[in-house]
A = this chain, B = another copy of it.
């Protein structure tokens, strides 16, 4: 009997790049990936925010500055990561892209330029990041699971259902799903695992010390909210799946969530 619990990735040193960096999924991924022996890079518009500095200090995570909606910036990011850490074997696109100014605005009231920014921040940056990842991973060797690499798109419930008062966000999340599907059908037969992971829930951060928090101060965080440490665990499992049984889409939601 083969030992399916053994990480096949251990034969090749993994290089993980997380695009989009904050205290939630990105931080949980960075910690878990580093803990599992990967070299880890995180890219953010502001790489100097304290939560990322902390990741560098505690887990040796490399920080990069990048506006992921700019083609040249994404190109440069991947060049720098290859130079510093080697070609990525795991890339996570973890940008939500919501623009605060049109949040909960009706279609008639939403500012068009903010709608376009939402598309650029989310779907277009996913295109740029996915493109660079695909270019590099094609040249990777296969690991013991038969994979040249894994590309994961974090997504939201708006990818599953277009809610009222959020037309721009529904566009962006649906677009990201469409891109992920197209890339999966194109790249899986080349040995690159592509996955779309809509999180159908509010996310409560898990901090370094294990306590939970939420961006809205005063919100009680419990297991009624998605715990990003477990989201990161699902990402790691996706990366380690054998190519005979790849999952393309996994929707994660807390036990009490209505759907």
Interface size, A (range): 35 or more
- A130-B167, A242-B223 given; A256·B189 CB < 8 A: yes
Find out whether the CB atom of B135 lies under 8 angstroms from the CB atom of A108: yes
- A120-152 contacts to B (CB < 8 Å): 120, 123-124, 127-128, 130-131, 134-135, 138, 146
Find out whether the CB atom of B162 lies under 8 angstroms from the CB atom of A107: no
Set B127, B146, B232: member contacting A167, Cβ < 8 A: B127
Find out whether the CB atom of B106 lies under 8 angstroms from the CB atom of A186: yes
Binds B, one of A46-54, A83-91, A175-183: A175-183
Chain B: which residue is nearest A180 at the CB level?
B162
- A212-258 contacts to B (CB < 8 Å): 223-227, 229-234, 237, 241-256
> CA–CA, A247 to B251, complex, Å?
6
Find out whether the CB atom of B223 lies under 8 angstroms from the CB atom of A146: yes
Set B5, B123, B208, B224: member contacting A1, Cβ < 8 A: B208
Residues of A whose CB lies within 8 Å of any CB of B are: 1-2, 4-5, 31-32, 35, 71, 106-108, 110, 112-113, 115-116, 119-120, 123-124, 127-128, 130-131, 134-135, 138, 146, 158-159, 161-168, 170-189, 191, 193, 199, 201, 206, 208, 210, 223-227, 229-234, 237, 241-256, 259
